[in-house]
Structure 1
Amino acid sequence: MIVVMKVGSPEPEISRISAEFQSWGLNPEKIVGKHKVVFGLVGETVDLDPLQIQEISPWIENVLRVEQPFKRASLEYRHGEYSEVIVSTPNGNIPIGKNHPVSIVAGPCSVENEEMIVETARRVKAAGAQFLRGGAYKPRTSPYAFQGHGESALGLLAAAKEATGLGIITEVMDAADLDKIVEVADVIQVGARNMQNFSLLKKVGAKDKPVLIKRGMSATIDEWLMAAEYILAAGNPNVILCERGIRTFDGKYTRNTLDLSVLPVLRALTHLPIMIDPSHGTGKSDYVPSMAMASLAAGADSLMIEVHPNPAKALSDGPQSLTPERFDRLTQELAVIGKTIGRWPQPQMVLA
């Protein structure tokens, strides 16, 4: 249930109403929009009468029930206002959301060695990326495949961060590693295989770092949003959704089916920022540029693109990785579309 305050509602009255809701055993979450204040009422609200609530103050404009099962993630919860996630990086605060320029995340599937990750970081930054992605811990289908270097790779990501100032995005697989990852990562990634690891989601939600949650390879949109709800309900409001392709019946020509229809669907359902990963979505580097451009044109808030200095020798996901040279050309191609739709970052897209 949400309570919409009138424009210009005095702060003492807002505080009084908040205290009143708390006395009812509810948790009123105050959301400050551009023009209005909205309370999201969390708790047992089934038996509450919206008309009765509206009578407690002349400053209450409207009382609405949130019909979606994903309460905090729903667009209704923020009264139609899209949220933003501000990521703190050495280069400044980078905003991700519908009302901001698109942000670019790039880097290898796995961190292999210091020279490789630092050089890749420098190259993707020069091309226009704001974030470096790289796996320290890698979930693999085969137990014999390269699983990542683990904790030592976190140190290599830290070195790349120090050398370039890029924000770091890396995946958590086990809650036991979470504290170590938080020390290095600016955004914690929950991968597709862990999308419904509810115990892990609760622990990630208790941290104060932004969380990127990838869609499970066979997950419905409702299941994906309910997974995000676990993080939001645990107290972390900074959640980014990432579409990375879903499993369908045709796996001969692409690794997955990149579901770009989620962009308009999610815009109608949730206020959360949306990232698209065309690298995992297609699994083939030749297809990544087209799908990246299509994603930007369709309204993506961020793009995640795999880049490796020598894809043929990559320890994981080489076939879907772009070379630094191809990534540089791609960002120039993306700039044409981004500038046309008014979502391309200026040279200094950093908030002080």
Structure 2
Amino acid sequence: MIIKLPIDVTEDDLLRYERYLRQHEIPFIFDKASQPIQLVVHLLEHQLDAFKQEVPFDCVEKIKGPGLLTSREGHPNDTIIQTKHHMIGGTNLTIMAGPCAVESREQIFEAAKIAKKGGAHVLRGGAFKPRTSPYTFQGLGEQGLMWMREAADYYDLAMITEVMDEKNLQLVEHYTDILQIGARNMQNYRLLEAVGRSSKPVALKRGMASTIEEWLNAGEYIVSRGNHQLLFVERGIRTFEPWTRNTFDINAVAMMKQLTHFPIIADPSHGVGKSEYVTSVAKASVVAGAHGVIVEVHPEPEKALSDGRQSLDEKAYLNMSHQIKQLHALNQTLEM
């Protein structure tokens, strides 16, 4: 539940609430980003009655669905994420594009040029790559981050890249504008808490076998630590179907738009794993209400060191971006 504290609550009051909850071993979070300050806590009815006797508060909101701070029920208006050049969420369409991995300075600059040409706002790319096999390309590390930052700045793009562990968080934070949590780390709770203390926006990919409730609760770990700049990224889930890399859950895009106030981004590249289907799934995502897409684009997909099969070349990417912009504009007129 969310308890809205009095508008004139003092630090002494907060200490009194904290002391009471700790004495009774009740986990809690103070959401100081909200006005008035909110106390996020799970109390049974008898605990709530006892708490009322000890401390004053204005009202209680009982959130029925999964998540508390991530729920639209307690925060009906869309949250907008501000990057250097663009606002993500609301009625804006955001395009994030770039290669799976940074392979060289020339490659990331060419990819950034293509991304910008198609109207992208954010350059994506990996410097630390979590690969299924230990014998495949693992990324260039800090050198890749440096080249990617240079390319993003040159083309006036924001930058998104994955942080794989707490150890590298400070390094990645230094270079990137948006931190990405990959599907494999969606339930790495210590990492989620760490990025929750960051000042950078966080893009949280759905785990490959995670339910929507688990995904929302993973986001709750981030927001409950004070970071209210969250993006949810649908990237497909693992099913019995072997024809595509994953099964893109278009249901999740529509449902998440209703369940949470944070922006929803679609990743059709990982969702299907085959470049010839990426545009169709990107279009479906925009129609379903996604606030943007994140797609893999490579100057020469056939030579890519990772995920070349699902990467768009320049022509396919420009075609996709043109079509989703048209669909987004149409969507806006239909929703008026």
Q: 1:114 to 1:162 in 2, by over 3 A?
A: same
SS where residue 284 of structure 2 aligns?
Answer: helix
Deviation at 1:174, TM superposition (A): 2.2
Cα distance in 2 between the residues matched to 1:143 and 1:268:
39
- The match for 2:108 among 99, 113, 117 is 117
**Corresponding residue number in structure 1 for 2:16:** 23
What pairs with 1:64-75 in structure 2 (closer than 5 Å)? 64-75=61-72
Structure 2 unmatched ranges of 5 or more: 22-28
Q: 1:150 to 1:302 in 2, by over 3 A?
A: same
**Corresponding residue number in structure 1 for 2:300:** 310
- The match for 1:164 among 155, 161, 174 is 155
Please list the CA deviations of residues 204-232 of structure 1 after superposition, one character each: whole Å capped at 9, or x if unmatched.
11111000110111111111111111111
Cα distance in 2 between the residues matched to 1:334 and 1:286:
15
Q: Is the 8 A contact 2:66 2:216 kept in 1?
A: no
Q: Is the 8 A contact 1:107 1:133 kept in 2?
A: yes
**Corresponding residue number in structure 2 for 1:248:** 239
Q: 1:56 to 1:226 in 2, by over 3 A?
A: closer
Q: Is the 8 A contact 1:2 1:38 kept in 2?
A: no
Q: Is the 8 A contact 2:2 2:41 kept in 1?
A: no
Cα distance in 2 between the residues matched to 1:167 and 1:232:
22
Structure 1, 231-240 or 254-263: larger mean CA deviation: 231-240
Structure 1, 315-324 or 220-229: larger mean CA deviation: 220-229
TM-score, structure 2 as length reference: 0.88
Cα distance in 1 between the residues matched to 2:33 and 2:50:
19
- Matched letter for residue 155 of structure 2: T
Cα distance in 2 between the residues matched to 1:71 and 1:3:
11
Q: 1:313 to 1:202 in 2, by over 3 A?
A: same
SS where residue 217 of structure 1 aligns?
Answer: coil
Q: Is the 8 A contact 1:22 1:28 kept in 2?
A: no
Deviation at 1:43, TM superposition (A): 4.0
Q: 1:2 to 1:148 in 2, by over 3 A?
A: same
Deviation at 1:331, TM superposition (A): 1.3
Q: 1:200 to 1:328 in 2, by over 3 A?
A: same
Deviation at 1:269, TM superposition (A): 2.1
- The match for 2:290 among 296, 300, 304 is 300
**Corresponding residue number in structure 2 for 1:86:** 82
Identity %, equivalent residues: 42
Cα distance in 2 between the residues matched to 1:185 and 1:157:
9
Q: 1:152 to 1:67 in 2, by over 3 A?
A: same
- Matched letter for residue 295 of structure 1: S
Q: 1:40 to 1:77 in 2, by over 3 A?
A: farther
- Matched letter for residue 73 of structure 1: T
TM-score, structure 1 as length reference: 0.84
Q: Is the 8 A contact 2:7 2:37 kept in 1?
A: no
- Matched letter for residue 293 of structure 2: L
CA RMSD of aligned residues (A): 2.4
Q: Is the 8 A contact 2:7 2:36 kept in 1?
A: no
Q: 1:2 to 1:201 in 2, by over 3 A?
A: closer
Cα distance in 2 between the residues matched to 1:174 and 1:18:
34
Residue 96 of structure 2 is aligned to residue 96 of structure 1: no
Q: Is the 8 A contact 2:184 2:208 kept in 1?
A: yes
Structure 1 unmatched ranges of 5 or more: 6-12, 344-352
Q: Is the 8 A contact 1:101 1:342 kept in 2?
A: no
SS where residue 70 of structure 1 aligns?
Answer: coil
Q: Is the 8 A contact 2:2 2:38 kept in 1?
A: yes
Q: How many residues get paired?
A: 321
Q: 1:28 to 1:178 in 2, by over 3 A?
A: closer
Deviation at 1:162, TM superposition (A): 2.4
What pairs with 1:1-352 in structure 2 (closer than 5 Å)? 1-3=1-3, 14-16=7-9, 20=13, 23-25=16-18, 28-29=30-31, 39-43=37-41, 45-46=43-44, 47-49=47-49, 60=58, 63-78=60-75, 80-87=76-83, 89=84, 92=85, 94-97=86-89, 99-251=90-242, 253-342=243-332
- Matched letter for residue 80 of structure 2: E
Q: Is the 8 A contact 2:152 2:158 kept in 1?
A: yes
Please list the CA deviations of residues 112-152 of structure 1 after superposition, one character each: whole Å capped at 9, or x if unmatched.
10011011101211210000000001111111111111111
Deviation at 1:315, TM superposition (A): 0.4
